[in-house]
Amino acid sequence: MNPRIILIVKIRYIMAITKVHKFNKEQVRMAELAKALGHPARIAILEILAQRQECICGDITDQIPLAQSTVSQHLKALKKAGVVKGEVEGVRVCYCINEDAADELKELLGLFIENIQSQTCC
């Protein structure tokens, strides 16, 4: 790859990271949660976890038409954002919805929707 292109990509990445501090913590958190939810497979995973209402170890891949490694990457993204919790049990990781994060998402989205609906224009 062209070194100039690599430099441009690195600069844009650094700029994006360094500008996060210009937003309030609710905006940053909402963006993190939205990013974590930004793929249909992640929504499907959360629906499966919510239906079971218990921790699931390993059998999520039986219900989603994706490779185990892909499901693991999606679970990793959800865990990184704090949307799911994962605990090691032997050689497997058991996942469940983080209820605190679900409450936080509900509150943040509620406030966001209320705020944008109260604005009138056009």
pLDDT in tens, 67-95: 888 998 999 999 999 999 988 877 778 88
- Those residues of the chain that have pLDDT short of 50 are none
d(CA 57, CA 86): 9
What is the reported pLDDT for 43?
95
CATH architecture of the region 24-116: Orthogonal Bundle (1.10)
pLDDT at 114: 85
Whether the full predicted model's pTM is greater than 0.85, yes or no, is no
Distances (CA, A) of 94 to 74, 85, 89, 114: 14, 8, 7, 35
